[in-house]
Structure 1
Amino acid sequence: MAGWTVEVDRAACLGCGVCVAYAPGSFEQDDEGQAVFLDPPADPEPDIRMAVDGCPTGALRLSAAAADDRDRADYEKKA
Structure 2
Amino acid sequence: MGDRWQIEVDRSLCIGSASCVHHAPDGFRLDAGRQSHPVEAETDANEKVLAAAEACPVEAIMITLLGSGEPVFPPEE
TM-score, with structure 2 as normaliser: 0.77
Partner of 1:22: 23
Structure holding more helix per residue: 1
Q: Secondary structure at the match of 1:76?
A: coil
Q: Structure 1: how far apart are the matches of 2:38 and 2:47?
A: 15
Per-residue deviation at 1:4?
0.5
The answer as to whether partners of 1:25 and 1:41 remain within 8 angstroms in 2 is: no
- CA-based RMSD of the aligned residues comes to 2.9
Structure 1 residues 25-64: Cα deviation after superposition (integer angstroms, max 9, x where no partner): 110101110001011778x711110000000001011022
Report sequence identity in percent. 24
Aligned length: 75
Q: Structure 2: how far apart are the matches of 1:36 and 1:30?
A: 8
Structure holding more strand per residue: 2
- After the TM superposition, which residues 1-79 of structure 1 pair with which residues of structure 2 at under 5 Å, given as runs? 2-39=3-40, 45-67=46-68, 69=70, 72=71, 76=75
